[in-house]
Amino acid sequence: MTDTRPVLAELQDVSVSFTKGNVTAHVVDSINLSIKEGETVALIGESGSGKSVTSLAIMHLLPRAKIDGKIMWHGKEGARNLLALSTREMRSFRGGSIGMIFQEPMTSLNPLFKIGDQIAEAARLHRPVSRQEARQIAEDSLRLVGIPEPRGRLNTYPFEMSGGMRQRVMIAMSLVCRPALLIADEPTTALDVTIQAQILELLRRLQEELGMSMLFITHDFGVVAEIAERIAVMYAGQIVEQGATQQILENPVHPYTRALLNAIPRLDKRSARLASIEGVVPDPRALPPGCRFATRCQFAVPDLCTSQPPPLSELQDGHAVRCARWPEFARVEYA
């Protein structure tokens, strides 16, 4: 069962750091990640893991950051490094080839403009269309995301809509140019669970209809199970484990992934006590020399875990883990 879909976007050793005075915070460290055409990849992690910064780096939305590495884009015009594009080139790329939606639809929409005008503006920025055509595109986009009476809705303001409807508008706007990749940064976190289910279903349907790829950023393993084919678990700026969704959820190897999965209360059974992870995420301005999870890891041993950073080791087809003791933790035998 080899996946023959071509790679669309590829992060190669991408690092992001912020410097203030003589202090440097290494927020993202040597991320390698590829997204195939039509594939959904999830970046999962807790606050401060660097998952959102990674997505903002792809979009060039970090003006003050130092970004190293390459972000290769394999579009119709051949391979290009997004990090080498000029501001002007990137502007057409952003919203054109890559769309993005955020957690807070209220703060991402302009409260002073009717939503029809906002979507039409997005269309006119990227496509040579007249006002009237843009308005038609806006109406079609609203219909695509399942908003009832789309024509009438063009004249409403964001405050007149519910959170779920606003998120649909955001999705409509991001899809105006039929991007090849949609980056969704916690798009359902602010929504109620019945509305979240609607939005996830919508995203799945749109992905199928439009054949786009998705980079889904979330902290919720439940959401990941619903939507992603592959998962990359981030901790303190690094990918600590990645693999197919099923591999990660059913056979997690890294102590952090396993601890995180055990810390989630379950709907199907009641446990007396939740496994919690003691301690806090290390400060990105003063990272430990060895494994970044070592200070909180119950399996950490001196020297092996604390003296040098563990590499990302590949276990089997696509399942990789950044842990020096992984052979002891892998439940299945690997060749």
CB of 333 to other proteins, least distance (A): 23
Q: Of 89 and 283, which CB lies nearer to other proteins in the complex structure? A: 283
Rounded Cα gap, residues 130 and 124, in angstroms: 7
**Does residue 46 touch other proteins according to CB under 8 A?**
yes
Q: Is residue 220 a contact point for other proteins (CB under 8 A)?
A: yes
Residue from 2, 130, 132, 276 in contact with other proteins (CB under 8 A): 276
Q: Is 219 in the site for other proteins (CB under 8 A)?
A: yes
Q: How many whole angstroms separate alpha carbon 258 and alpha carbon 237?
A: 18
Per CB under 8 A, contacts with other proteins among 106-165 are 162-165
Pick from 1, 112, 193, 335 the residue near other proteins by CB under 8 A.
193
One of 278, 303, 328, 333 touching other proteins (CB under 8 A): 278
The yes or no reply on residue 197 touching other proteins (CB under 8 A) is yes
Phi, psi at residue 68, to the nearest 5°?
Answer: -110, 165
The CA-CA-CA angle for residues 230, 311, 52, to 5°, reads 45
249 is a contact residue toward other proteins (CB under 8 A)? yes
Question: Contact with other proteins (CB under 8 A): which of 54, 167, 196, 242?
Answer: 196
- Does 167 engage in binding with other proteins (CB under 8 A)? no
Candidates 1, 23, 112, 280: give the one binding other proteins (CB under 8 A).
280
CB of 276 to other proteins, least distance (A): 4
Q: Does 194 bind other proteins (CB under 8 A)?
A: yes
Strands (E), 123-258: 181-185, 213-218, 230-235, 238-244
How large is the C-alpha radius of gyration of the chain? 21
Q: What is the distance between the alpha carbons of residues 163 and 108, in angstroms, rounded to a whole number?
A: 12
The answer to whether 39 touches 5, Cβ cutoff 8 Å, is: yes
- 201 interacts with other proteins by CB under 8 A: yes
Long-range contacts for 171-174 (Cβ within 8 Å, ≥24 apart)?
A: 171/101, 171/145, 171/199, 171/202, 171/203, 171/206, 172/119, 172/138, 172/141, 172/142, 172/144, 172/145, 172/147, 173/118, 173/119, 173/122, 173/141, 174/95, 174/99, 174/100, 174/101
Residues in contact with 244: Cβ distance below 8 Å, sequence separation at least 6, in sequence order? 229, 230, 231, 318, 319
Q: Does 39 bind other proteins (CB under 8 A)?
A: no
For residue 216, list its beta bridge partners: 42, 184
Question: What's the token pair of residue 255?
Answer: 């102590």
Least distance to other proteins, CB of residue 195, Å: 7
Nearer to other proteins, 41 or 180 (CB): 41
User: CB 223 → other proteins: shortest distance, Å?
Assistant: 5
Span of 123-131, 177-185, 276-284, 314-322 interacting with other proteins by CB under 8 A: 276-284
Among 260, 291, 315, 323, binds other proteins (CB under 8 A): 260
Under DSSP, the state recorded for 75 is E
Pick the binder of other proteins from 90, 225, 312, 330 (CB under 8 A).
Answer: 225
Measured distance CA(57)–CA(75) in Å, rounded: 18
Site for other proteins, rule CB under 8 A: 46-47, 162-165, 192-198, 200-201, 219-226, 245-246, 249-250, 259-261, 263-268, 270-271, 273-278, 280
